Structure 1
Amino acid sequence: MIEVGAKLPEATFSTIAGGNMKNPSTNDLFAGKKVVLFAVPGAFTPTCSESHLPGYVALADKMHAKGVDSILCLSVNDAFVMDAWGKASNAEHLTMLADGNGDFAKKIGLDMDTDSFGGQRSQRYSMLVDNGVVETLNVEAPGKFDVSDAETMLQSL
């Protein structure tokens, strides 16, 4: 698993911006920026939709006020699903990112196998990344939602 102080690996993501598919790289998203990244097992799933994403939507302005350049929500879904979830959740101040095949999750050692309901997914976590280097990492225990929430991240800024 990636650790505090480690540089994020190169990866390519997918997102919908202005109605068009974009494929930003790790460098595009993190170089020279202070970024909050949080990952969820799946868009439109109960904890993700009822608690995780809404917390970051509600506290986005406070995070930006503390020097965060961008807030990224990541899931092993496609960009169209992430875009629809963002719109349905009023997440216009966040970037909804797709890690379509889970390549990024695997590279950082935070992937998980959920054969019973979805296959390869990302574990639930949050991290603060400064210029591509992990400064804070909050990984949830399986089935928990205690440390990767927006309030915990805000307090660590």
Structure 2
Amino acid sequence: MTEEEVTAFGVRARRVRSDRETLVVEVRGDLDILAATRLSPQLEHFAQEPYPCLVLDLRPVSFMDCSGLSLLVRVRRHVVARDGELTLVIDRPFFRRVLRLAGLSGVFVIRDSVGDALGRRGRADSGAGAAGDAGTACEASSA
């Protein structure tokens, strides 16, 4: 196992893509208390890398409990502390609802696909984003 990938209790986080502006990390499996504890150091490491934009692709996540939500909040805190931007890729209505009920849907930028996350970032919402979304430094640099 390298620093690029960590597997714990059936969940995996791995670097999928990076360029000079954006790091895309895919998280796969059940993001529960056991996995969140083991993945926390790696995801926090990814969050502290010098990329202005971190995209977490959570589409392959099959389960997430409050420990998984807490981990996402910690990762966001690290990214924001270095003036970066975190985007979550979530295509399941159930997970979007969990974020909304936890009061977190307005905290995260949420997109339906990695392509959408790379093309339109910068506004925290629970939808895929409208065509008129305001751009950010990350969007400008990826255009």
Shared fold per TM-score greater than 0.5: no
TM range (shorter): 0.3 to 0.5
In terms of fraction of residues, the more helix-rich structure is 2
Q: Please give the TM-score of this superposition, normalised by the length of structure 1.
A: 0.35
